[in-house]
Amino acid sequence: MSAATTHDPAHDHAHDHSHHEQAWIWKYVFSTDHKTIGIQYAITGLLFLLFGFFLMLLMRWSIAYPGVAVPGVEVIRSIPGVGFIFQEMFGRWLNADGSLNGELYNMLGAMHGTIMVFFGIVPLGFAGFVNFVMPLQIGTIDMAFPKLNMLSYWFFFISCVMMVVSFFIGTGPVQTGWTMYSPLASTTSIGVTNVWNHGHTWWLLAMVFNISASLLGSVNVVTTVINLRARGMSWMRMPFFCWAMFIVGFLLLLAFPPLEVAALLQLSDRVFGSSFFLPTGLMEGGRHLDISGGGSPLLYQHLFWFLAHPEVYVLILPAFAILSDVIPNNARRPLWGYKMMVYALLTLAFLSFLVWAHHMYLTGMGTMMSTYFQITTVLISVPSVILLTCLMISLWGGSIRFNTQMLFGSAFLPMFGIGGLTGLPLAFSFIDLALHDTYYVIGHFHYVVAPGTIFALFAGVYHWFPKATGRFMNDKLGKLHFWPSLIGMNLIFAPMFIQGMAGFHRRWYDGGKYFEQTAGFQNWSTTLTHKIGAFFGLNIPDNMLSLNIVMTFGAIVLALGQVPFIYNFWVSIKCGEKVKSDNPWDATTLEWATPTPPPHGNFVFDVNAHRGPYEYSAPSHPTDFFPQWETEHGKPKPDGSDASAKTGHAHAAHH
What integer pLDDT is reported at residue 5 of this predicted model? 38
pTM equals 0.91
Window from 187-196, 457-466, 550-559, 632-641 with minimum mean pLDDT: 632-641
Whether residue 263 lies inside any domain: the answer is yes
Q: Please identify, among 276, 300, 326, the residue that sits at the C-terminal boundary of a domain.
A: 276
d(CA 403, CA 408): 9
CA-CA-CA-CA dihedral for 143, 148, 154, 155, to nearest 10 = -120
13-17, 325-329, 335-339, 480-484: range with lowest mean pLDDT: 13-17
Query: What pLDDT digit, counting tens, does each position of 137-161 carry?
Result: 999 999 999 999 999 999 999 999 9
* Residue pLDDT, tens place only, 483-529: 999 999 999 999 999 999 999 998 899 888 878 777 778 888 889 98
Mean pLDDT of 473-483: 97
Q: What is the mean pLDDT of residues 630-653?
A: 47
Over residues 463-491, mean pLDDT = 96
The pLDDT score that the predictor gives to residue 622 is 84
- Please check whether residue 435 lies inside any domain of the structure: no
For 375, residues 6+ apart whose C-beta sits below 8 A from its C-beta are none
Three-state secondary structure string covering 302-343: HHHHHHHHHHHHHHHHHHHHHHHHHHHHHHCCCCCCHHHHHH
CA–CA distance, 276 with 257 (Å, rounded to integer): 17
652 pLDDT above the threshold of 50: no
**Residue where one domain finishes, among candidates 236, 252, 276:** 276
- Eight-state DSSP code of residue 4: P
Domain holding 161, by residue range, is 37-66+101-276
Mean pLDDT of 561-587: 95
Last residue of a domain, one of 276, 309, 327: 276
Q: Which amino acid, 274?
A: S
pLDDT single digits (tens) 389-446: 999 999 999 999 999 999 999 999 999 999 999 999 999 999 999 999 999 999 999 9
* Averaged pLDDT for residues 10-35: 67
How does the average pLDDT of the chain come out, rounded? 90
204 within some domain: yes
Please check whether residue 330 lies inside any domain of the structure: no
Q: How many CA atoms lie within 13 A of 102 on its CB side?
A: 6
Whether the per-residue pLDDT at 240 is higher than 90: the answer is yes
Query: Looking at the domain assignment, is residue 170 inside a domain?
Result: yes
172 or 17: which leads in pLDDT: 172
**Mean pLDDT value of segment 279-296:** 85
Res 633: pLDDT: 56
% of the chain at pLDDT higher than 90: 75
Tell me how many domains the chain contains.
2
Closest CA relative to residue 111, chosen from 157, 59, 41: 59
Calpha distance 563→386 (Å, rounded): 35
Is 503 domain-assigned?
no
The set of residues, in sequence order, having a beta carbon less than 8 Å from that of 269 and lying 6+ positions away, is 182, 186, 275, 276, 277, 278, 295
- In this structure, is residue 139 part of a structural domain? yes
Residue 196, domain member (yes or no): yes
| HSE value, Cβ hemisphere, 13 Å, CA-based, for 377 | 25
